[in-house]
Structure 1
Amino acid sequence: MTTLQWSEDMGVEMAQMDATHQECVALLQAVQGADDARLMAAWERLLAHTEAHFAEEDRWMQATRFAAGNCHSQQHQQVLNIMRDGTERARKGRLVELRLMAAELAVWLPQHIDAMDAGLAHHLRQVGYDPATGHIAHPEALPHEPLQGWGGASGLGEGDAPVAGQVAGCSDKKMGCNA
C-alpha cells in the first residue's frame, strides 16, 4: 500500500485550505502507519479532523452561494458516512476494513482536492472571501443563483470531475446532482 504524501501540486492557492489538506494527509499517514493497537485512535483523529474540515468548507460554500445540495457537499456527507460506518465496523474488531478505507481515502483525497476543492478555492478568490472573517470583498462577483454541480465556478461540468471507488461516488443518479 502506498502512503499518500503531500506535494505542492495538491495546493489550491488558498493558505487555509492548503493547511487543512496538509493536516489531513498527515493524519491519514498516521492511520496508514498505525499498528492494530493504535489504529482506532489514529482513525478517530482523522475522522474528527474530516468532520471539522468538511463542515468548514460547507460553511464557505453556503456563505458564497454554492447550493446547499451541491455535489461537493454531498460528497462530503457520503465520505463521512462511510468513515463513520468504518468506525463502527472497527469497534467490532474489523480493523482490516479501516485499513482498506484509508487506502481508498489516499486515492480519493488528491482527486477531490483537484476536482472540487480547487474549484471552490477559485470561486472563493473570485468573490474575495476571507475564511477567517467571512468577509466577501467582491459581493458583486457572487452568483445570482446558488451554484450547482461539481465545483461551481471552476468551470467543471457534469461528468468532468474524476472520482475514485466507493468513497467518492457522486453522480447525478446516486447523489441527486444536476443532470
Structure 2
Amino acid sequence: MSALTLKPEHVLGLPPMDDIHHEFMRLLAALDDAPDAGQLPVLDALLAHTEAHFAQEDVWMDASDFPPMHCHRGEHERVLEVLHEVRRLAAGGDHGIVRTLVRELPQWFEHHASTMDTVLAEHIAATGYIAETTLDGLVTT
C-alpha cells in the first residue's frame, strides 16, 4: 500500500482545492500500487483528473483575476506535457517511466502546492471570490 497522501501542510483551507488535491494524491497512490500490467487505466484516470484539476484552477484564476495566472498555467502545461509523454511511453510497454513519474510527481506537487497553489488560495480568500468545483470530470473526496 502506497504511503502517498496529501500532507497536512498542503491542505490550504480552500475546501474545493483541498478536495481536488486529495484526489490527485489518491490517484498517484493508486498508480504507485498498480502492477505493471494495470498501470494504464490508473494512469489514464490520473491524466483525466489532472486535466480537469488544472482546468478548474484556470476557472478560479480567471474569475478572481489572479495576477500570476500565466506563470501558474505554464507549470500546469509542462506537467500535462510530461503526463501525456509518460502515457505514450507506457502504452509502448515502458513501465519504468511510470515508476519514475510516481517518484518525481509528488515532489513537484509539494513545491507547487506550497507556492503557487498557496498564493492562489490566499488570493481567492482575499478577494472574496467563492471557489466552487464547476467542471465535470472532477472526482473529489
Instruction: Judge same fold: TM > 0.5, yes or no.
Output: yes
Query: Runs of at least 4 residues of structure 1 off by over 6 A?
Result: none
Q: Secondary structure at the match of 2:13?
A: coil
Whichever residue aligns with residue 88 of structure 1, its letter is R
Write out aligned runs for 1:63-74 (5 A): 63-66=63-66, 70-74=70-74
- The aligned amino acid for 1:66 is F
What CA deviation, in whole Å up to 9, does each residue of 1:94-149 have, x standing for no partner? 11111101211011111110011010000000111112289xxxxxxxxxxxxxxx
- CA spacing shift, 1:76–1:107, aligned 2, 3 Å: same
Unaligned runs of 5+ in 1: 135-179
Higher helix share: 2
Given residue 115 of structure 1, which amino acid in structure 2 is its aligned partner?
T
The answer on 1:15 being equivalent to 2:15 is yes
Q: Partner residue of 2:35?
A: 35
2:106 aligns with 106
| RMSD between superposed Cα atoms in Å | 1.8
1:20-67 Cα offsets, whole Å, 9 max, x none, are 101111000000111012111111111100000000001111112235
Matched, 1:79 2:79: yes
Letter in 2 for 1:92: G
TM-score by length of structure 2 reads 0.87
- Structure with the greater alpha carbon radius of gyration: 1
Q: May I ask how many residue pairs the two structures share in their alignment?
A: 133
Q: Secondary structure at the match of 2:62?
A: helix
Q: Percent identity?
A: 35
- Per the TM alignment, residue 7 of structure 1 is displaced from its structure 2 partner at its CA by 2.5
Structure 1 length normalisation: TM-score? 0.70
CA distance in 2, matches of 1:67, 1:52: 21
More relative contact order in 1 or in 2 (CA 8 Å, sep 6+)?
A: 2
Quickly say closer, same or farther: Cα 1:71–1:133, change in 2 above 3 A. Answer: closer
1:62 touches 1:68 (CA, 8 Å); kept in 2? no
Distance change (3 Å), C-alpha of 1:127 and 1:133:
farther
CA contact (8 A) 1:10 1:114 kept: yes
| Shift, 1:74, TM fit | 0.4
* Structure 2 stretches lacking a partner, 5+ long: 135-141
Q: How has the CA–CA distance of structure 1 residues 73 and 133 changed in structure 2, closer, same or farther, with 3 Å as cutoff? A: closer
